[in-house]
Amino acid sequence: MASTLPLSQRARLMPASPIRKLVPLGDAAKRRGIHVYHLNIGQPDIETPPEFMDAVRAYREKVIAYGHSQGLSVFIESLVRYYGGLGIPLAPKNVFVTTGGSEAITFAMMAVCEPGEEIIVFEPFYTNYNGFAIMGGIRLVPLETRAEDGYHLPSEETIEAAVTPRTRAILICNPNNPTGTVLRPDELAVIRRIALRHGLYVLSDEVYREFVYEGETRSVLSLEGLEQQAVVLDSLSKRYSLCGSRMGCIVSRNEELMGAFLRFGQARLCTATLEQIGSAALVDAGSKYFAPMIDEYRRRRDATYEELMKIPGVVCRKPSGAFYIMARLPVDDADAFAAWMLSDFHDGNETTMIAPGSGFYATPGRGKDEARLAYVLAAEECRRAIEILGRGIEAYPGRIGR
Amino acid sequence: MASTLPLSQRARLMPASPIRKLVPLGDAAKRRGIHVYHLNIGQPDIETPPEFMDAVRAYREKVIAYGHSQGLSVFIESLVRYYGGLGIPLAPKNVFVTTGGSEAITFAMMAVCEPGEEIIVFEPFYTNYNGFAIMGGIRLVPLETRAEDGYHLPSEETIEAAVTPRTRAILICNPNNPTGTVLRPDELAVIRRIALRHGLYVLSDEVYREFVYEGETRSVLSLEGLEQQAVVLDSLSKRYSLCGSRMGCIVSRNEELMGAFLRFGQARLCTATLEQIGSAALVDAGSKYFAPMIDEYRRRRDATYEELMKIPGVVCRKPSGAFYIMARLPVDDADAFAAWMLSDFHDGNETTMIAPGSGFYATPGRGKDEARLAYVLAAEECRRAIEILGRGIEAYPGRIGR
């Protein structure tokens, strides 16, 4: 009897993290004395600004108690000031604090879709959108973007053709994880028009908002006429190098939707008190850290891209944002190649760990010759990591175009 | 167009917290200068043991980074030692760290049930089970327990009659929130037999494990033959007075199930790093705090119960666990009465806030004359709060049996 106990379909369909599943191979390489350059995960090496721990250490309440389900006022107000500084005037009622961007995505998907309903996404996309959709029984409808086009959006006609009576939202990530692409104003205008014509929500993951190296980007919150439809999914993880604090928020001017988030949030009571205390202090102090951080990441991007362009057969356009480069590699199977780099290859006792592209696609077969490179190391380390990658490709038995 | 944008059914069905919806009335009473005794929410006033903040303050990593999706080793190992101390031998692979008991409940429900499948629960139950079930499209099948019986389980036949081909699990809460009832060994034996006969998971919410004032209770993890079916949903919130840290775990020896939890967990990356660091230190140091804490709560329970028995028309049995008493009150409508206590009544500028019973039932109409009293104040304060409650009932226009 025991062995026949069923798991639910969503538990069985739930994919293992494509980024994290190479971890055992990386650990094994390290045990063999090989230095591994981690370009596989978006964990910044930038120091968390001290305001966070200073505020946490100064916390003197005798009881670590439940906070409000919406979030602590002190944190919500710091976020309102932050968005105000971006030219986005908000009231506290427009901000709902979440346990990381992850919970923001989950709540937003669950609030706008029934099981079986659809959200349009652009492939490649942040791999965990898949997981949250599976938990909610929601169908992601992927539209392809391509390395040759710098992963910019398909045409207005192509996007519109994907809208069905079951479509409830378009989900964008801007600047984009995994591609680094920053949407142009004309692309945002396309999204806006389609959303208005078809009454769709625009769920916009803007966690990399500050990471823009050329030009600028706009939040969907500032698109005219989209006040009831624009929902921003946000996180402090990247901009404050605070991944381990799990602090994020959902922002919307749609009061009915904010009411739904509050009810979802009441079920899980609240988010962590100390993390909110630290985050509030950081948001108020943090903007001074952005400019030097962006300069540093621009150097890393330039170094990574420059080295990448030296590898014969690699296809990519220089991305303008986030801290990722998605590229097509001249290999038969990037999953096998990424594993091989850890198991069978080293260059002077060093190797490079990358995130294979397939995990960022919902469509089977797509992304098999692509990889995401997170330039979260110092520029010279990125340069060396890509040099090793090139040597790996050169030596790889499954190399294409030899 | 904008005003017709639909919310999902689950967003519309999601109930507002029945405990939290009285908060504005309580706040208004305070603004009128009335002291409010909070028996409405399970927020302990006990000080969080200093080991938690000591460990947090001592954290010296430069980057607050992502941790493992399963949880930090240091925290998992502290939990393995904690369960070992309870006579439950576990390996680290049997423990999955969650963002509070809330996430443990969500993951467990999602992993064992398809949308439309059923979990048997006993009414009254922890109100948020409802919310998590709605998010997952899961049907809770409630079986009534009654004040007159001390809210103990119905008969084996009654429970078994509720099992259908769509039943996947029985969900128990032991010691119980909201009733304070501790399951007897014969009741656990009934659950075990039914689970074995029908191949059901037993999801056991044991967050009040230490709060037992007479007799003892057993974890489902120690029930023979249930190794593949027993799943414990746990939280540090109550036993360490750590509600605001959102630290919990799921414990199971079913490896397939643990694999599903890991995949769910990878989607949301990890739980908060600092909170795990603090919690690990606390779990290792914390058991010395239990005995004096339980003595304190026993005094509170006795004071609360004793005063309650002085109110004519109140029905309840003395509960043996948790820090709640569920009681039938001689009022027409406990929701209206609870609101009235805040809006229209005071006794020497003091009043008492209670949690109306209806929020703890899924069956419409049940619990309308019941309330949950959380004895989370000092014994003398509990005594005074119940005295005020009695005077309120006496003065209430909707009093029954006048």
Q: B251 to chain A, minimum CA–CA distance in Å?
A: 16
> For residue A402, what pLDDT is reported?
63
Between the alpha carbon of residue B236 and those of residues B131, B202, B247, the distances in Å are: 21, 21, 6
pLDDT tens column, B340-391: 999 999 999 999 999 999 999 989 999 999 999 999 999 999 999 999 999 9
Q: How many helices (H) and strands (E) does chain B have?
A: 13, 12
ipTM (interface predicted TM):
0.93
Enumerate residues 368 to 397 of chain A having a beta carbon within 8 A of any beta carbon in chain B. none
Between the alpha carbon of residue B55 and those of residues B278, B284, B369, the distances in Å are: 5, 12, 46
Provide DSSP, B12-48: HHPPPPTTGGGHHHHHHHHHTT-EEEE-SS----SPP
Strand order in the sheet with A247-252: A95-99, A247-252, A230-235, A201-205, A167-173, A118-123, A139-144
Evaluate if residue A3 carries a pLDDT over 70.
no
Enumerate residues 118 to 137 of chain A having a beta carbon within 8 A of any beta carbon in chain B. 128, 130-132, 135-137
**E strand segments, A290-361:** 324-328, 350-353, 355-356
Of residues B6, B45, B270, nearest to A63 (C-beta) = B45
CA nearest to A352, candidates A39, A22, A30: A39
Of residues A3, A11, A254, nearest to B111 (C-beta) = A11
Q: A226 to chain B, minimum CA–CA distance in Å?
A: 8
Mean pLDDT throughout B179-205?
Answer: 97
Confidence of residue A172 (pLDDT cuts 50, 70, 90): very high
Q: Is B241 on the interface with A (CB under 8 A)?
A: yes
Measured between beta carbons, the chain A residues lying within 8 angstroms of B103 are 268
> For residue B402, what pLDDT is reported?
63
């991944």: which residue's tokens?
Answer: A243
The Cβ-side half-sphere exposure at A72, using a 13 Å CA radius, reads: 21
pTM of the model: 0.95
- Put simply, the answer to whether B135 touches A267 (Cβ < 8 Å) is yes
Q: Is B167 on the interface with A (CB under 8 A)?
A: no
Q: Torsions phi, psi of A292, nearest 5?
A: -65, -35
Structure tokens belonging to residue B91:
């390996």
Q: Which residues contact A18 (CB under 8 A, 6 or more apart)?
A: A127, A355, A356, A358, A359, A360
Mean pLDDT throughout A122-136?
Answer: 94
Q: Which CATH number fits domain B50-286: 3.40.640.10, 1.20.120.80, 3.40.50.720, 3.20.20.70?
A: 3.40.640.10
Structure tokens belonging to residue B230:
């027993």
Q: Torsions phi, psi of A128, nearest 5?
A: -75, -10
Structure tokens belonging to residue B119:
């979990």
Domains A8-47+290-395 and A50-287 belong to one CATH topology: no
Class of domain A50-287: alpha beta
> For residue A16, what pLDDT is reported?
82
More confident residue, B19 or A100: A100
Q: Which residues contact B260 (CB under 8 A, 6 or more apart)?
A: A7, A11, A12, A14, B107, B111
Q: Could you give the percent of chain A with pLDDT greater than 90?
A: 90
Q: Which of A118-127, B16-25, B153-162, B187-196 has the lowest mean pLDDT?
A: B16-25
- Alpha-carbon span B92 to B105, nearest angstrom: 20
Q: What architecture (CATH level 2) is domain A8-47+290-395?
A: Alpha-Beta Complex (3.90)
Chain B interface mutation, best of A13, A62, A66, A268, highest count of B Cβ atoms under 10 Å: A268
Q: Is A52 on the interface with B (CB under 8 A)?
A: yes
Measured between beta carbons, the chain A residues lying within 8 angstroms of B293 are none
The radius of gyration computed from the CA coordinates of chain A, to the nearest angstrom, equals: 21
**All structural domains of chain B with their residue ranges:** 9-47+290-395, 50-286
The vertex-B97 CA angle with A280 and B72, nearest 5°, equals 75
Mean pLDDT throughout B267-294?
Answer: 94
Class of domain B9-47+290-395: alpha beta
Mean pLDDT throughout A265-277?
Answer: 95
Chain A, nearest residue to B226 by Cα: A2
Q: Is B81 on the interface with A (CB under 8 A)?
A: no
Enumerate residues 300 to 319 of chain B having a beta carbon within 8 A of any beta carbon in chain A. none
> For residue B43, what pLDDT is reported?
87
Mean pLDDT throughout A316-335?
Answer: 96
pLDDT tens column, B223-267: 999 999 999 999 999 999 999 999 999 999 999 999 999 999 999
Q: B313 to chain A, minimum CA–CA distance in Å?
A: 33
pLDDT tens column, A213-269: 998 889 999 999 999 999 999 999 999 999 999 999 999 999 999 999 999 999 999
Q: Is B13 on the interface with A (CB under 8 A)?
A: no
